[in-house]
Amino acid sequence: MFISIKKSGLCIALLCLCATLSTAAIGQSKTIRISYGINRYIAYNLSTGQYDVHQNGTQVFNRISASVIVNGQALSSTKYTKRTYTKAVVKTGFGKGMRHIISLSANGLPTMQQVFYTYNSGSFFTQLIIKGKAINTNNMVPFEGGFKQISGDVYSLFMPFDNDTFISYNAKPFKGNEKVTSAEVGAVYDNDTRGGLVVGSVEHVVWKTGVTTAAAESNTIKATAGYTEEGVTRDKIAHGMVSGSEVCSPLIFVGYFADYRAGLEAFGKANRTAEPPFVAKWTKPTPVGWNSWGVMQEKLTFDKAIKVADFFADSLKGFRSGNTAYIDLDSYWDNMLVNKNGERDFSNLKEFADHCKAKGLQPGIYWAPFTDWGFKSGPDRKMEGSDHTWGEAWTKIGNQYHELDGARAIDPTHPGTQARINYMIDHFKSCGFTMIKIDFLGHAAVESTGFYDKGITTGMQAYRKGMEYLIKRIDGQMLIYAAISPSLASGRYVHTRRIACDAFKSIKDSRYTLNSVTYGWWQSYVYDYVDADHIVFSTESEGANRARLLSGVITGTLITGDDYSEDGPWKARAKEYLQNLELLAIVKNGKAFKPVDGNMGEGASSIFVNKIGRRYYVAVFNYTDKEATVKLDAKRLGIPAKCSVTEILGKQKLGSYRDEMGVSLLPADAIIYRFDPDPS
């Protein structure tokens, strides 16, 4: 038979392959053992409403409970008087597994359910469900308790909610009174052995989730659905309420891993499975190309854009992926528009797009669909394609509005916002654009005191509605690239996403970008691709150019940004670096390199590694103004002890590698090696 189960406000059908297998009540003082993977199990105590998690003979989580605030009343799994257990075989996107339900009841209280999904893997999922009359909550805690002491060089990872305001990931030493609240996922690990835990939300269409870890007295962890913090989620008010006869928390991923990096990659893949792409499937090769914001910015003109396309067509013929490259016009493309009788004439944009295609290139455009940059001119201006005014659509926070980055947020559910989407996207499609870079998407996810659509009560619900409307209008006709945007919630809607905020040409830009790769490389499994932003050479040193180039290569794609309509040293560097066939082969693979170290605070690992086929690639960076020597140890890198080594950019075969080698780097420089394992 089929049963319908609510997941974070969404109903999915699960195939129930067997009936209830067991039931127990609190009076039996029974501990239920729930297995997940090999030598892993949850021990749920029906007498206390708490559980421990065991792995390979070790208790890795302890005294775990769940709680919720319903209509102002705090409820905990430990306070109910009756608990029963049922299980059934289910088939979900994760495969065939078991669904375990602990149902908790007490006189006068709504029913609480702690749900566990287990598969033959090294992790499990848990979810909290509350059922009753007129449930109203903005705080659900599906997972809270302790975890085993982790020894060594231990860190707790802070992950940003988005990539706005030049925010950074931060691995904070986990000791003393250190307390870290991370957006959507938390990880605590020993950088030496790499063992550690990963706990996070894999659903983002209703809730914002925060994961808090604390080292004081005893190690604790808490996953809270309903998390807002202005410096992280950008919200100026509390999380919106979720109401109904049944309210579900997001699905929470829980695991303890021998290598936290494998745990974060598993978490990334779980996000992709739990929330499959809403965007059209990407079947083409890894995108590469150029974007005008790298150098031109507000100086973008039609003539300059045409000259860039010609340079790519005539002088960078080797810089292609799948026989094409994208030439993308960023902000200020409206410099090309002509005003005719009060209407904007897009003919120059169409001519540009046609020119790109005639040259074997693909044209791209830029747009921010959920922001009003002209709000200081007043509320009565008409929105494009609509009789609605901008003031009607501004996202409301009490008697105020939400402003960030110099722009005012507009309500994603408002008909004026939707009409504007229709108007702009239809013009872009008519012009022939095959790529769109969408920006400042976080403005669509903020909490509001009231959305136009009264059925929408949280920022993430509004984000979902706005993004789904936008993606439907694009209708599979463009590569969709997200710039500033929520880090995980955007996975459903775009093909590629910029992993950090704006970055350009300097060694500091490379380091800033690689901070996000050091701690967020696993988002390669949430998106088709993650991107390092504008790869600009300009007049920086050759070493800084190599570092910026390689920061893009190891992130996953290459979007360049120099002003190729003008002569300068950047043209020669582009011809040399961007047509390196082996670098392009790495880009074709499309997946970010894995960091070797995760103890860099707000900095970045100096070594990254990736396996492509039988080969291993290792990129090494020196972010400092002094020469540096780095040891490449086979065991630490996770590569075979016996290899032949080739330095790719210099195309130099360096001979045999045995267990380790030292690398000397000049200040502000980088290098990349290929390790070919000995066939013996």
Phi, psi (degrees; rounded to nearest 5) at 28 = -80, -10
Does the structure show a pLDDT above 50 at 25?
no
Point out the domain boundary residue: 256, 274, 292. Answer: 274
Whether 219 is covered by a domain: the verdict is yes
Q: What is the pLDDT of residue 351?
A: 98
Phi, psi (degrees; rounded to nearest 5) at 623 = -90, -5
Q: How many domains does the chain have?
A: 2
Which three-class secondary structure state does DSSP give residue 125? strand
Q: Helices (DSSP H) in 144-220: which residue ranges?
A: none
When pLDDT is averaged across residues 349-371 and rounded to a whole number, the result is: 98
Q: What is the pLDDT of residue 26?
A: 43
Q: What is the pLDDT of residue 679?
A: 85
Whether 530 is covered by a domain: the verdict is no
Q: Which helix (H) or strand (E) holds 461?
A: helix 459-474
Does the structure show a pLDDT above 50 at 649?
yes
Q: What is the DSSP letter of 600?
A: -
Whether 246 is covered by a domain: the verdict is yes
Nearest to 227 by CA among 135, 140, 125: 140
Question: Which strands sit side by side in the sheet containing 435-438, from one edge to the other?
Answer: 529-531, 496-498, 479-482, 435-438, 362-367, 326-328, 288-291, 558-560, 534-535
Does the structure show a pLDDT above 90 at 2?
no
Q: How many alpha carbons lie under 13 Å from residue 503 in its C-beta half-sphere? A: 30
Q: What is the pLDDT of residue 29?
A: 52
Does the structure show a pLDDT above 80 at 132?
yes
Give residue 80's Cα distance to chain centre: 37
When pLDDT is averaged across residues 583-610 and rounded to a whole number, the result is: 97
Point out the domain boundary residue: 252, 274, 296. Answer: 274
Whether 528 is covered by a domain: the verdict is no
Q: What is the pLDDT of residue 8?
A: 39
Q: What is the pLDDT of residue 178?
A: 87
Does the structure show a pLDDT above 80 at 114?
yes
Q: What is the dihedral angle through the alpha carbons of 190, 194, 199, 201, rounded to the nearest 10 degrees?
A: 130
Point out the domain boundary residue: 247, 274, 301. Answer: 274
> Does the predicted model carry a pTM greater than 0.85?
yes
Question: Tens of pLDDT along 495-517?
Answer: 999 999 999 999 999 999 999 99
Question: Tens of pLDDT along 237-291?
Answer: 999 999 999 999 999 999 999 999 999 999 999 999 999 999 999 999 999 999 9
Question: Tens of pLDDT along 456-476?
Answer: 999 999 999 999 999 999 999
Rounded distance, CA 505 to CA 563, Å?
12
Instruction: Tell me the residue ranges of DSSP E strands in 358-441.
Output: 362-367, 371-372, 396-397, 400-401, 403-404, 407-409, 435-438
Whether 511 is covered by a domain: the verdict is no
Nearest to 590 by CA among 540, 530, 539, 646: 530
**Total residues found in the chain within this entry:** 680
Rounded distance, CA 401 to CA 398, Å?
8
Whether 592 is covered by a domain: the verdict is no
Does the structure show a pLDDT above 70 at 13?
no
| CATH assignment at residue 158 | 2.70.98.10
Q: Please provide the DSSP assignment of 41-83 as one string.
A: EEEEETTTTEEEEEETTEEEEEEEEEEEEETTEEEETTS-SEE
Q: What is the DSSP letter of 541?
A: -
When pLDDT is averaged across residues 342-358 and rounded to a whole number, the result is: 94
- Residue 56: partners with Cβ closer than 8 Å, 6 or more residues away: 39, 40
Q: What is the pLDDT of residue 17?
A: 41
What's the whole-number average pLDDT of the chain? Answer: 94
Least confident of 4-8, 398-402, 422-426, 494-498: 4-8
When pLDDT is averaged across residues 319-343 and rounded to a whole number, the result is: 92
For residue 315, name the pLDDT band (cuts at 50, 70, 90).
very high
| CATH assignment at residue 643 | 2.60.40.1180
Whole-number Cα distances in Å, 548 to 240, 258, 314, 573, 637: 41, 32, 24, 12, 22
* Share of residues in the chain with pLDDT > 70 (%): 96
Does the structure show a pLDDT above 60 at 15?
no
Q: What is the DSSP letter of 382?
A: B
For residue 118, name the pLDDT band (cuts at 50, 70, 90).
very high
Nearest to 363 by CA among 295, 309, 294: 309
Can you give the residue range of the structural domain that contains 667?
Answer: 607-677
Q: Which amino acid is at 368?
A: A
Cβ-based neighbour number of residue 417 at 10 Å: 27
Q: What is the pLDDT of residue 218?
A: 84
Question: Tens of pLDDT along 32-87?
Answer: 999 999 999 999 999 999 999 999 999 999 999 999 999 999 999 999 999 999 99
Kindly report the CA angle at 597 between 526 and 618, in degrees rounded to 5? 80
Q: What is the pLDDT of residue 344?
A: 87
Whether 394 is covered by a domain: the verdict is no
Whether 33 is covered by a domain: the verdict is yes
Q: What is the DSSP letter of 524?
A: G
